[in-house]
């Protein structure tokens, strides 16, 4: 087959990967010279721990397997099975961690509850005061700023892959072709549109009732820490934003310990991942109401810095970068992704939300299976 993939973020790139691995030819079209959206502006987390039970968890677990398989062929992904620690500071937060450990799927997630001494033994960089940590052995990480480029290089080496950057698709022609802004028509046996947060223009014309919204977030990156942070780290505010932790214990925690006003206003959690160069990627915020701000706001960064320093028990290195990103999320957040046939052999796949980096290999695999590749 000849497959046309539009969009070179992680979701589009994983669709291209699936097609090439199955022996097909791929033409990959991206409106930027290379991916610049949420796929490179994230933590690089493969985050199994907080996923909703059922289809979402199954997708994340399958994606985790695929990430490791792909990394064996593409070392440039920077894949590492480092697991995660959600650090808790009081009894109310501990109760949420215990409730998660009591879930029937806790073993599949690789969950265990650690004492403060066990947390410090596992991750000596965490020197703050805390009551314990929820460990998830199945969580992992890749390098988001370089992963797509590494995948592209591996795809190019196959001899069945053509990358066309700096071309915006303007029209769907018939039932199996697209026309770009250079006037070139690309025809295939299948077309997959993975356009990320680009929901206007052609996407709106093809799917006017698209049940997907955009979400904006702010993040930061520091200079090298000077020591290893052996796990990805979250604070207990992350319990509020991941469906696996919902229930009576979370309700009691929210009542006993409301978020500080800045964290509540910006719908914040702390996530912290060490990069290959030793720096820390730290975030994040959530903004749902458009039009989004065009600038970044300082108060959330001050809150994230204070929270991270409390867990590390030391000042953060200087901040080297701050940025904002926008991703597409299904309005029904229980859905893993929106997959819609918009023409005879043209499919739109979008809206994985904050699960995109985690789940994209398995989402692409399912698309390939459903389309009979």
Cα distances (angstroms) measured from residue 221 to each of 45, 79, 232, 262, 320: 15, 19, 14, 20, 6
Q: Looking at residue 287, what DSSP letter applies? A: B
- The candidate with the shortest Cα–Cα distance to 85, out of 56, 36, 124, 38, is 124
Q: Are residues 93 and 218 in the same domain?
A: yes
Entry pTM: 0.97
- The candidate with the shortest Cα–Cα distance to 84, out of 229, 230, 228, 232, is 232
> Distance between CA atoms of 96 and 238, rounded to whole angstroms?
11
Query: Helix 91-101 vs helix 248-256: angle between axes, to the nearest 10 degrees?
Result: 170
**Continuous H helices in the chain:** 10-21, 55-73, 91-101, 106-109, 116-122, 144-156, 202-206, 248-256, 261-265, 298-312, 356-370
The angle formed by the CA atoms of residues 73, 372 and 166, to the nearest 5 degrees, is: 60
Contact 118, 86 (CB under 8 A): no
Instruction: Identify the pLDDT of residue 248.
Output: 98
Q: Are residues 315 and 233 in the same domain?
A: yes
The mean per-residue pLDDT over the stretch 18-41 comes to: 95
DSSP-derived pairing of the beta strands 177-180 and 185-187: antiparallel
**CATH number for the domain that contains residue 266:** 3.30.9.10
40 — pLDDT class (breaks 50, 70, 90)? very high
Instruction: Identify the pLDDT of residue 10.
Output: 97
Instruction: Identify the pLDDT of residue 9.
Output: 96
Instruction: Identify the pLDDT of residue 13.
Output: 98
3-state secondary structure (DSSP) of residue 62: helix
Instruction: Identify the pLDDT of residue 81.
Output: 98
The mean per-residue pLDDT over the stretch 333-351 comes to: 96
Q: Are residues 59 and 105 in the same domain?
A: no
**CATH number for the domain that contains residue 175:** 3.50.50.60
Q: Are residues 310 and 220 in the same domain?
A: yes
> Distance between CA atoms of 217 and 326, rounded to whole angstroms?
6
3-state secondary structure (DSSP) of residue 39: coil
**Dihedral pair phi/psi, residue 180, rounded to 5°:** -100, 175
Instruction: List pLDDT tens digits, range 173-193.
Output: 999 999 999 999 999 999 999
Averaged pLDDT of the chain = 97
57 — pLDDT class (breaks 50, 70, 90)? very high
Which tokens in the block code for residue 100? 């998660």
> Distance between CA atoms of 215 and 325, rounded to whole angstroms?
8
Which tokens in the block code for residue 335? 């859905």
Q: Are residues 64 and 10 in the same domain?
A: yes
Instruction: Identify the pLDDT of residue 368.
Output: 98
291 — pLDDT class (breaks 50, 70, 90)? very high
Instruction: List pLDDT tens digits, range 129-168.
Output: 999 999 999 999 999 999 999 999 999 999 999 999 999 9
Instruction: Identify the pLDDT of residue 50.
Output: 94
Q: Are residues 317 and 198 in the same domain?
A: no
Q: Are residues 123 and 222 in the same domain?
A: yes
Which tokens in the block code for residue 364? 């692409």
> Distance between CA atoms of 259 and 357, rounded to whole angstroms?
27
Strand partners, 86: 134, 234
3-state secondary structure (DSSP) of residue 93: helix
**What residues have CB less than 8 Å from 276, skipping those under 6 apart?**
78, 143
Q: Are residues 170 and 318 in the same domain?
A: no
267 — pLDDT class (breaks 50, 70, 90)? very high
Strand partners, 273: 281
3-state secondary structure (DSSP) of residue 239: helix
Instruction: Identify the pLDDT of residue 273.
Output: 98
Cα-Cα end-to-end distance for the chain: 8
- The candidate with the shortest Cα–Cα distance to 78, out of 17, 8, 147, is 147
Q: Are residues 227 and 344 in the same domain?
A: no
The mean per-residue pLDDT over the stretch 16-45 comes to: 96
The mean per-residue pLDDT over the stretch 59-74 comes to: 98
Q: Is 147 exposed, middle or buried (0-12, 13-18, 19+ CB in 10 A)?
A: buried
3-state secondary structure (DSSP) of residue 249: helix
Q: Are residues 308 and 174 in the same domain?
A: no
In the chain, the number of structural domains is 2
Q: Looking at residue 157, what DSSP letter applies? A: T
Q: Are residues 42 and 148 in the same domain?
A: yes
Q: How many CB atoms lie within 10 A of CB 175?
A: 11
Q: Spell out the SS3 assignment of 332-356.
A: CCCCCCEEEEEECCEEEEECEHHHH
Q: Are residues 295 and 351 in the same domain?
A: no
The residue segments making up the domain with residue 30 are 1-80+140-210+334-373
């Amino acid at each position: 087959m000849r497959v046309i993939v539009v969009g070179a973020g992680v979701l589009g790139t994983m669709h291209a990967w699936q097609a090439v691995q199955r022996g097909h030819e791929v033409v990959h079209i991206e409106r930027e010279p290379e991916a610049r959206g949420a796929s490179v502006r994230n933590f690089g987390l493969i985050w199994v721990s907080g996923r909703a039970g059922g289809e979402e968890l199954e997708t994340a677990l399958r994606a985790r397997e695929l990430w490791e398989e792909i990394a064996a062929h593409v070392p440039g992904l920077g894949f590492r099975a480092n697991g995660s620690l959600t650090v808790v500071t009081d009894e109310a937060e501990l109760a949420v961690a215990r409730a998660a450990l009591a879930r029937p799927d806790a073993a599949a997630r690789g969950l265990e509850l650690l004492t403060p001494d066990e947390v410090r033994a596992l991750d000596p960089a965490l020197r703050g005061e805390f009551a314990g940590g929820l460990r998830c052995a199945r969580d992992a990480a890749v390098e988001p700023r370089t992963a797509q480029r590494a995948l592209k290089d591996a795809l190019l080496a196959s001899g069945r892959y053509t990358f066309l950057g700096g071309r915006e698709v303007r029209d769907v022609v018939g039932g199996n072709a697209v026309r770009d802004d250079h006037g070139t028509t690309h025809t295939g046996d299948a077309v997959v549109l993975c356009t990320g947060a680009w929901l206007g223009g052609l996407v709106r014309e093809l799917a006017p009732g698209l049940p997907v919204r955009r979400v904006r977030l702010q993040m930061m990156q520091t200079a090298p820490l000077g020591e290893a942070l052996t796990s990805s780290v979250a604070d207990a505010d992350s319990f509020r934003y991941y469906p696996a932790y919902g229930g009576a214990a979370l309700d009691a925690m929210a009542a006993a310990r409301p978020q500080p006003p800045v964290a509540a206003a910006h719908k914040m959690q702390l996530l912290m991942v060490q990069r290959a160069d030793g720096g820390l990627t730290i975030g994040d915020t959530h903004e749902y109401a458009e039009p989004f701000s065009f600038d970044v706001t300082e108060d959330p960064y001050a809150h994230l810095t204070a929270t991270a320093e409390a867990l590390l028990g030391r000042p953060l290195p200087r901040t080297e970068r701050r940025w904002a990103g926008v991703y597409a999320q299904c309005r029904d957040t229980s859905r893993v992704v929106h997959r819609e046939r918009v023409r005879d052999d043209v499919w739109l796949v979008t809206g994985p939300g904050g699960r995109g980096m985690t789940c994209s290999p398995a989402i692409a695999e399912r698309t390939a299976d459903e389309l009979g590749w």
